[in-house]
Amino acid sequence: LIESELFGHEKGAFTGAQNRSSGRFEQAEGGTLFLDEIGDMPMEAQTRLLRVLQQGEYTTVGGRTPIKTDVRIVAATNKDLRTLINQGLFREDLFYRLNVVPLRLPALRERSEDIPDLVRHFFKQGASEGLQTKRISSGGIELMKRYPWPGNVRELENLVRRLAALYS
């Protein structure tokens, strides 16, 4: 399924493939493709991704003709890829292809000063989606700053969206 999502598929390539479908690489042609949670990618998809990075081409699922591509890859994960490499779950050669300009974004608990801005951003985002505009007290922000946020920014976003939806 992930390979069809990334590389597209031809009509009849698998059960349910009624039509040809473009993948993320085709959609991102000439631009940037963001791959979130790359540490969860199955080994077979990693091999296909490595081919794209090495040769600048891919084939659709069920396709035979290589398709040239010009796409910049930005990948993210919350997993330790070196550990996954040691466990045989992530390709070392793919790691080095992707690890050109590594950026480490500290966990939210390590940058609690970002919480007020993130809360405002998520409330504003909710308002743009039709939820009532909300604010949170400085005491509420202080409580949030002390919380360890094991789910990181996604957990904060979910909380703020829940607050925006449920409380007036």
31 and 94 fall within a common domain: yes
Counted domains in the chain: 2
What pTM did the predictor assign? 0.73
Report how far residue 130's alpha carbon sits from residue 97's, in angstroms, rounded to the nearest whole number: 42
Between CA 89 and CA 40 the distance in angstroms is 9
Average pLDDT, the chain: 93
Residues 91 and 13 in one domain: yes
pLDDT for residue 168: 61
Answer whether residue 103 is part of any domain.
no
State percent of the chain over pLDDT 70.
Answer: 99
Q: How confident is the model over 105-158, as pLDDT tens digits?
A: 899 999 999 999 999 999 999 999 988 888 899 999 999 999 999 999 999 999
Q: Are residues 91 and 158 in the same domain?
A: no
User: Based on C-alpha coordinates, what's the Rg of the chain?
Assistant: 20
Residue 138 lies in a domain: yes
Neighbours of 142 (CB within 10 A): 12
Instruction: Provide the residue range defining the domain that includes 159.
Output: 108-166
pLDDT category, 32, cuts 50, 70, 90? very high
Both 53 and 88 in one domain: the answer is yes
